[in-house]
Amino acid sequence: MSPVLAGVLQFLALAVALGLAYRPLGDYMARVYSSDKHLRVEKWIYKAIGANPSTEMRWPAYLRGVLAFSAVSVLFLYLMQRLQGSLPGSLGFVSIPADQAFNTAASFVANTNWQSYSGEQAMGHVVQTGGLAVQNFVSAAVGIAVAVALVRGFARSRTGELGNFWSDLVRGTVRILLPISVIGAVVLVACGAIQNFSGIHEVGQFMGGSQQWNGGAVASQEAIKELGTNGGGYFNANSAHPFENPNGFTNLFEIFLILVIPFALTRTFGKMVGSVKQGYAILATMVTIWVGFTALMMWTEFHHGGPAFDIAGGAMEGKENRFGVGGSSIFAVATTLTSTGAVDAFHSSFTGFGGGITMLGMQLGEIAPGGTGSGLYGMLIMAIIAVFIAGLMVGRTPEYLGKKIGTREIKFAACYILVTPALVLIFTAIAMAMPSTLTSMTNSGAHGFSEVLYAYSSGANNNGSAFAGLNANTPWFNTSIGLAMLLGRFVPMVFVLALAGSLAEQKPIPATAGTLRTEKPLFTGLLVGTVMIVAGLTYFPALALGPLAEGLAS
């Protein structure tokens, strides 16, 4: 079988699996967030944290819950790292330096999982499982909670109440993320991923000498790192490591875990607003971008540019033979169009255009299908922008799902789409102006610039992947990328929740003959165009200096 055909068949198998899971999972999540009943274990949690799950919150109270919980999480995870040397199960590893501990705490709480350290050489069992893995669950649940709050803003009228943050957080963790992660971990263990708490072992090498390896609860963390679109790996090689991702089947299974919740949330959205067709329109937009990016990635990575490419069947530099060009291309697009950041290949070793595709996927806002929750609310913000543009073209007050998009709403949406580009471009400009940055860059020229641009695109968009080659473990990069991750995660949430509150207060507007039909293919095309044009106008000059220049020169 040719490598190209193998890649296409993998993609088709993945699409079928996602299609089969779409309706049951989407409907289940809609029931989870619409139910008035609480499980016994959930009641215990509410009692332990002193929360009343039946109290409805307006958007300022909901936001305070998000920020308070996240702030405490950053502090807790920071202290765990700083005290690691005194904790049991540390495997002899010392405490993490202050700037790196801040970066890591910000990273995992912001659902970014950017890592400026090698996990197997820095983190003990307690920090990995009691700190990082816990944040993999709750940071993903926070994202889903904010998305559900925005959906309630569309679904409700004449009230500013958006639900209860603590209830949404706990339900997302207990009823959705935990059960699926347990099943995922069992599948990964059965396929060869490791799951233990062993110490450090001296392992002989084929060419002589030895190397130290430690075990860990890898399969369980791998499952939630993909399912929650987190991405932080137990090992420095991340999902390219055979302990995390043993074979071609697990590679495809992990991609499935990355995409299944973000895609299924569009069904949840449709059910909660009372029109599954609206969910299908958002789904069609996400799928169009995802398929297009995957096709482009496969084309550029399979493109034969010489004898070495012909023999290997594509651009195999930086890729694992057990996954091939096809599997690595599908994984790279999935992880950068979501806020996952896990990698089964080195994105820095992709072709110039291939690296640019991964970068642009993040710069779109990671909305196709995006992260757990963040992808849905990001795409709904873009839908509001698209409706506003359509209204300008026909001279009609824009409406979406029966809600008027007025001055207040469009200001919130505009502020949302400006936050991450500002963080990416400003921090990149500052970093490139600093002489110390040159010592952190392995490469010069366009590829070196791409390393820095990729780092801040990844941090501000809460992705977490990196162009291999940039030494980001410096006080400047640890601090600046840490700030970019926190601001890129929580400032947009402010505008999302404020928008949700504004929409919930409105009374519904009945549809008329002049109402834009947002469930039709025409609107899907408009939304795809809006996403691509907004990102293109924002990032094209920077991309022209990096991956485009490199791709055209190769």
Residue pair 321/504 in contact (Cβ under 8 Å)? The answer is no
- Which is higher by pLDDT, 434 or 26? 26
- Using only C-alpha atoms, the chain has a radius of gyration, in whole angstroms, of 23
Which SS3 state, helix, strand or coil, does residue 441 take?
A: strand
**What number of residues does the chain have?**
554
Please give the C-alpha separations between residue 392 and each of 288, 397, 534, in angstroms, as whole numbers. Answer: 25, 8, 16
314: confidence class by pLDDT, cuts 50, 70, 90: low
Report the alpha-carbon distance of residue 443 to residue 348 in Å, rounded.
10
- The rounded percent of the chain whose pLDDT value lies above 70 is 97
For residue 44 the two structure tokens come to 């215990």
Report the alpha-carbon distance of residue 212 to residue 244 in Å, rounded.
17
Average pLDDT along the chain:
92
Average pLDDT, stretch 40-63? 95
- List phi, psi (to 5°) of 269: -60, -50
Residues 6+ apart with CB under 8 A from 354: 297, 300, 301, 315, 329, 332, 347
357: confidence class by pLDDT, cuts 50, 70, 90: very high
Domain extent at residue 547: 3-553
Q: Angle at Cα 388 formed by Cα 384 and Cα 392, nearest 5°?
A: 170
Q: Angle at Cα 364 formed by Cα 5 and Cα 290, nearest 5°?
A: 25
Tell me the pLDDT tens digit for each residue of 492-533.
Answer: 999 999 999 999 999 988 888 778 899 999 999 999 999 999
For residue 404 the two structure tokens come to 């008027």
Please give the C-alpha separations between residue 501 and each of 89, 214, 406, 429, in angstroms, as whole numbers. Answer: 45, 49, 14, 35
How does DSSP assign 197-255, residue by residue?
Answer: ---EEEEE-TTSSEEEEE--SHHHHHHHHHHTT----SSTTGGGSTTT--SHHHHHHHH
Tell me the pLDDT tens digit for each residue of 376-389.
Answer: 999 999 999 999 99
Q: What are the beta bridge partners of residue 204?
A: 210
pTM above 0.85, yes or no: yes
Does the pLDDT value for residue 83 go beyond 90? yes
Handedness of CA 204, 206, 209, 210 (dihedral sign): negative
210: confidence class by pLDDT, cuts 50, 70, 90: confident
Tell me the pLDDT tens digit for each residue of 446-502.
Answer: 888 999 999 999 999 999 998 877 888 899 999 999 999 999 999 999 999 999 999
Strand-strand pairing, 200-204 and 403-404: unpaired
**Helix 374-394 / helix 521-545 crossing angle, nearest 10 deg:** 110
Average pLDDT, stretch 194-223? 82
Does the pLDDT value for residue 304 go beyond 70? no
- Which is higher by pLDDT, 515 or 76? 76
In the chain, how many domains are there?
1
